[in-house]
Every structure is written in structure tokens, then in C-alpha cells.
């Protein structure tokens, strides 16, 4: 029996219009609550952005910033962040590095980027960060623990740049790709899968009582947790190899289709 459902958002739960079938989900969520099934939103995005998709709902758990932060109706429950020294080291590398990188520095209270960033990058950043401040210089960075760095790079250079970052900060950071030129710099060992595993233990739920859905490589750890793991129709090769099953496309409400069947 399924007792928890964990979903990635972009490319998984959300369709290409950056939305979902809201009436269908409302009915399904009501059934999940009746059966005591937990619903977990697990994403690399900012909590405030994720919460905006479900503003009228209570009882949802949010794993944001690729596992660094966990929120529920009572607020922030778990957090992991970079040290101040490592934060400064990473910022210096990104600003002065050879790849001419633009990036968002993600804190607990807000996210931050430079005023000098290109308009294209600012549009990208605003999609994923609803609380976003522009700084003249990173010397003005507020006293807000930093949990992640988000980059948007040329698609064909994504893996090259991620590998370069992992080599430059071996053991200190993990650079993961979430598709379409996006790279997240996260704390080693801090993943969606680890955060979900901790929640399942807290709730007394076995891993194989979880259904998990994803499409990109930052979903691998959570998909590896359970036999009820679903790769979306459009997904990375690694996701297809890791997940035990395949779901229909996110543009066909694939997650909702599968969960309806699981609860039947």
C-alpha cells in the first residue's frame, strides 16, 4: 500500500505551461488525505515558489533547494547550509572564473543575484525564486545562510561546467544538473532522497510504501529509495535507468494518472 507520494515539479508534475490540472488534483488530494497518504513536493526550487502552486492546501510537505530545506504547515523544519567561508569561496570562483557564469545565491529567507546580471538571466531567476533581491555587489550579501547556488548555462556546456565545478571544489560541493542548462551547487550528501528518507523514518513509513516521480538527475536519489519509482516519459537516461517504472508525460498529467491508479 502506498502511504506517501513524492513529486519533482519542473518536467514532472508541471506541464509545459508551468501548471497542472488543478480540478483533477483537488479531487485526488482529497482522496489522499482520506487514506492518510502524505504528499511531498521535492524540488530544486525555492520554497516560496513551490508554495505558490498549492497556496490553498494544508498538509503538504515541501522539500526545496534540492533537499537543503524542509517546510510544512508549521514552517521550516530542517535546514542545511554552507559555511560562510565556503560561500565566499564559491562566489569568488563563480565571479572570477573562466566560464563567465551568472548565478543566483539561494538563502533561507530570500535569493540574491547581481543587478548587473543580463535581463535573460533575471527572467530565468524570477521563474524559480519568488523572493529575489538584486545586489550591486556580493559584498552586500545579507546575513542569510546560503543553501544552494543556481546557474543557467549553455545547454551543450552543462556537463562540462558541472564537472569543472566538482573538480575545483572536490569534497566541498556537489554540482548537479536538473536539465535544460540548469546547474545547482549543493552541499555534498544533501539531496531530495536523503530528506525524503528522513521524513519516512519520522512518519514510520517504509521506503517501498513511497511512490516517487522524477525526470532529471537531481531526482536519482529519491527514485532509488523505492520499488514504486517512476521516470517521466521525457526524462534523462540516468533517470530511466534508475526508476523501476515509467509514467506518462507531464503534459498528460502523468503523475496524477499513476497516483489515481495506485489509490484505486
Catalytically active residues are 8
Distances (CA, A) of 59 to 51, 56, 88, 140: 12, 10, 37, 37
CA 141 to CA 9: how far, in whole Å? 29
- Please list, residue by residue across 72-86, b when 16 or more beta carbons sit within 10 angstroms of its beta carbon and e when fewer do: eeeeebeebbbeeee
CA 33 to CA 225: how far, in whole Å? 23
- Specify the 3-state DSSP secondary structure of 16: coil
Nearest partner of 60 among 88, 37, 81, judged by Cα: 37
201: alpha, beta or left? (left if phi > 0; alpha if psi -120 to 50): alpha
All three cell numbers of 95: 565571479
CA 80 to CA 87: how far, in whole Å? 13
CA 264 to CA 258: how far, in whole Å? 10
Amino acid at each position: 500500500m502506498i502511504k506517501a507520494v513524492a513529486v519533482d515539479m519542473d518536467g514532472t508534475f508541471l506541464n509545459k505551461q508551468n501548471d497542472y490540472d488543478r480540478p483533477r488534483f483537488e479531487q485526488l488530494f482529497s482522496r489522499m488525505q482520506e487514506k492518510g497518504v502524505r504528499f511531498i513536493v521535492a524540488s530544486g526550487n525555492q520554497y516560496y515558489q513551490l508554495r505558490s502552486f498549492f497556496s490553498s492546501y494544508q498538509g503538504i510537505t515541501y522539500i526545496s533547494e534540492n533537499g537543503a530545506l524542509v517546510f510544512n504547515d508549521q514552517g521550516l523544519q530542517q535546514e542545511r547550509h554552507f559555511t560562510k567561508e565556503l560561500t565566499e569561496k564559491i562566489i569568488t570562483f563563480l565571479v572570477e572564473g573562466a566560464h563567465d557564469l551568472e548565478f543566483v545565491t539561494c538563502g533561507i529567507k530570500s535569493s540574491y543575484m547581481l543587478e548587473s546580471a543580463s535581463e535573460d538571466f533575471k527572467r530565468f531567476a524570477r521563474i524559480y525564486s519568488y523572493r529575489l533581491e538584486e545586489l550591486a555587489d556580493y559584498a552586500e550579501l545579507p546575513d542569510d545562510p546560503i543553501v544552494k547556488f543556481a546557474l543557467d548555462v549553455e545547454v551543450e556546456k552543462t556537463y562540462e561546467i558541472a564537472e569543472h565545478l566538482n573538480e575545483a571544489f572536490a569534497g566541498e560541493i556537489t554540482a548537479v544538473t536538473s536539465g535544460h542548462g540548469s546547474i545547482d551547487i549543493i552541499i555534498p550528501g544533501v539531496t531530495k532522497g536523503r530528506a525524503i528518507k528522513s521524513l519516512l523514518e519520522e512518519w514510520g513509513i517504509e521506503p517501498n510504501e513511497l511512490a516517487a516521480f522524477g525526470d532529471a538527475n537531481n531526482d536519482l536519489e529519491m527514485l532509488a529509495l523505492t520499488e514504486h519509482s517512476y521516470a517521466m516519459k521525457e526524462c534523462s537516461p540516468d533517470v530511466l535507468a534508475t526508476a523501476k517504472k515509467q509514467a506518462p508525460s507531464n503534459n498528460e498529467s502523468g503523475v496524477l494518472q499513476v497516483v489515481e491508479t495506485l489509490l484505486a
